[in-house]
Structure 1
Amino acid sequence: MKKENKWKMLLSPVIFDRYSKSDIFVGLGITTFAMAGIFITSLFFGLIEITNVGFDARMIGYYTGLIFLSAGYEELIFRCILLTILIKVLKKSWIALLITSIYFGYVHLDNDYATVLSAVSNGIGGIMYGLAFLFTRKIWLPWALHFAWNYLQAPILGFPVSGFEVQGIISLKLLDHSWLSGGFYGPEGGIVGISFRFVVIGLVVFWIKKSRGKVKKKIIEQDYIPA
């Protein structure tokens, strides 16, 4: 393999293609919609109560940068590097996706207030982001999904995010600490959050079909080569 072709293959997941810009905007929209659904559902079932609304520009700026970088870092490590390596080694995309998703859930078990259910939820999140990567072969859709999920969840809507308390524009009182809401871990640790992860997966598949014409069969093929 020529040196320039090798570098092109390695850098392919972070190089824009004709879909990347649309993938970013759609990804942001999908998880914004999902997190808004979690918020409305939680209010409707009395799982949370709004106690205050206030805007701190400095705090929002800080969390915007932090979540932008952390989401990008996780997608680079778990999807662009780990998932791609496992596909090349195991020759099966779906097995590699399952392994990386289980590991993604496992590493979150060290977070405060983590439970087996929250680890399962984070594992489904790994599938959510992993499918977005496999369908597009780029970092941009999973990064956008990941960023908006965490950003709406914490600094905007005021939920805890993966066990971390964040000051949001909306201040919430958590009225339920059960398996339903996720409690202090955040909605991604409960059944409501898990339900909307499946909504996200469905919308990702819908977007791929709409933008590419079909869901790529390479998701279950062994010859995964970044385009």
Structure 2
Amino acid sequence: MSPRTLLWNSTERRPRAPLRLLATPLVVILVAIIVGIAVGGTVSALLGTSRFGRLVISLVSVSTTGLAGFLVARYIDRRTVSDLGFGIDRDWLLDLGFGLALGGVLMTLIFLVGLATDWIAVTPVQLGVDRVLGVVALFVFFIAVGISEELLLRGVVLTNVAEGLRWRFDVPTALTTALVVSSAVFGIAHLQNPNSSLASTLSITLAGVMLGLGYVLTGDLAIPTGIHISWNFVQGGVYGFAVSGLDFGTSLVETTERGPDVVTGGPFGPEAGLLGVGAMVVGALCIAWYVQFRYGTLGLDSSVSVPELRWKETES
């Protein structure tokens, strides 16, 4: 096999999967640098170091991740827009609604169990205009987080691993391996967050499995995107928990963890504790039930490992 054949798939007219995966973090870094130079200084100068200003800067930073994921999927993976997992139609929106509802319910269950067991305590807050606006801004931020991270981690990483393995293994093996690999990358990516630990990394990896399950069972990113948005927002913007180690300081309710860290997750937030792990397991079961109920079948969607390529679209 020639060096060109090792790097280039002539049948698909694009780089091979390992090269596409290696290119992904490079594109993320490059886009972050370009956006940082183009608008980062301007945003900082206009908004300063206020809490709102830091939130806007974080929003820009997160959005660059989604932009990088889109650029990789379109121009390196060479996939169509519908193949990115965002083929928005009525069914997609229904699945998104289910994901949004499930993420909020799971985090509410964590909150209620914590209250019932006295593992968390609620601190009264004054709901002024500033706090409400802060919560709204946080909701917008978590929409960007959900879309960007799902596009990059599931839409690009999981998909490329699955596409790369489908030639050597059967579809279930390729998709299961891709789910595990992308979830591990998701967990490791959160190591840089404040108060991270081995326990938090493992729990975030499990969260990646729950989110990825909605993708590999349906072939769309609607369910994981919905869960990702509402899980984070209800966690940080409603109940005031830390979100993957990040304390945003504005929420409708303020809580204090009083139980053991192994249960509550401590300063990293519920995701690093047994409450969060339990919610993820329940979430995975609910996703499986929903897919069975809604589509009448439950199985791995082979379309995740078979790309719809742009050049084929233009030739048809």
TM-score with structure 2 setting the length: 0.66
Picking from 162, 165, 169, the partner of 1:87 is 162
TM alignment of 1:46-85, pairs within 5 A = 46-55=118-127, 56-85=131-160
Q: Following the alignment from structure 1 to structure 2, what is the Cα–Cα distance between the partners of residues 162 and 54? A: 25
Structure 1 183/177 Cα, relative in aligned 2: closer, same or farther at 3 Å?
A: farther
Structure 1 217/60 Cα, relative in aligned 2: closer, same or farther at 3 Å?
A: closer
Q: Following the alignment from structure 2 to structure 1, what is the Cα–Cα distance between the partners of residues 307 and 282? A: 27
SS of the equivalent of 1:14 reads coil
Picking from 2, 25, 46, the partner of 2:97 is 25
Cα deviation code 1:12-36 (max 9, x no counterpart): 2111244211101111111111111
Picking from 169, 172, 188, the partner of 1:106 is 188
SS of the equivalent of 1:38 reads helix
Matched, 1:224 2:305: yes
Cα deviation code 1:44-65 (max 9, x no counterpart): 2211111113432210121011
- Higher-Rg structure is 2
Matched, 1:142 2:224: yes
Contact kept? 2:199, 2:272, Cα under 8 Å:
yes
Structure 1 103/7 Cα, relative in aligned 2: closer, same or farther at 3 Å?
A: closer
Cα deviation code 1:91-114 (max 9, x no counterpart): 211001111111111111111111
Structure 1 31/223 Cα, relative in aligned 2: closer, same or farther at 3 Å?
A: closer
TM alignment of 1:1-227, pairs within 5 A = 9-12=80-83, 13-55=85-127, 56-91=131-166, 92-166=174-248, 167-218=250-301, 224-225=305-306
Q: Following the alignment from structure 2 to structure 1, what is the Cα–Cα distance between the partners of residues 278 and 218? A: 24
SS of the equivalent of 1:112 reads coil
Contact kept? 1:53, 1:169, Cα under 8 Å:
yes
TM-superposed CA distance for 1:177, in Å, is: 4.9
Of stretches 54-63 and 150-159 in structure 1, the one that deviates more from structure 2 is 54-63
Q: Following the alignment from structure 2 to structure 1, what is the Cα–Cα distance between the partners of residues 307 and 104? A: 28
Q: Which runs of 5+ in 1 are unaligned?
A: none
Q: Which runs of 5+ in 2 are unaligned?
A: 1-11, 14-76, 167-173, 309-316
TM-superposed CA distance for 1:217, in Å, is: 3.9
Contact kept? 1:177, 1:184, Cα under 8 Å:
no
With a CA cutoff of 8 Å and minimum separation of 6, indicate the structure with the bigger relative contact order.
1
Which residue is 2:9 aligned to? none
RMSD across aligned C-alpha pairs, in angstroms?
2.1
Contact kept? 2:132, 2:252, Cα under 8 Å:
no
Cα deviation code 1:84-134 (max 9, x no counterpart): 111011221100111111111111111111121111110011111111111
Contact kept? 1:54, 1:170, Cα under 8 Å:
no
Contact kept? 1:79, 1:130, Cα under 8 Å:
yes
Contact kept? 1:158, 1:172, Cα under 8 Å:
yes
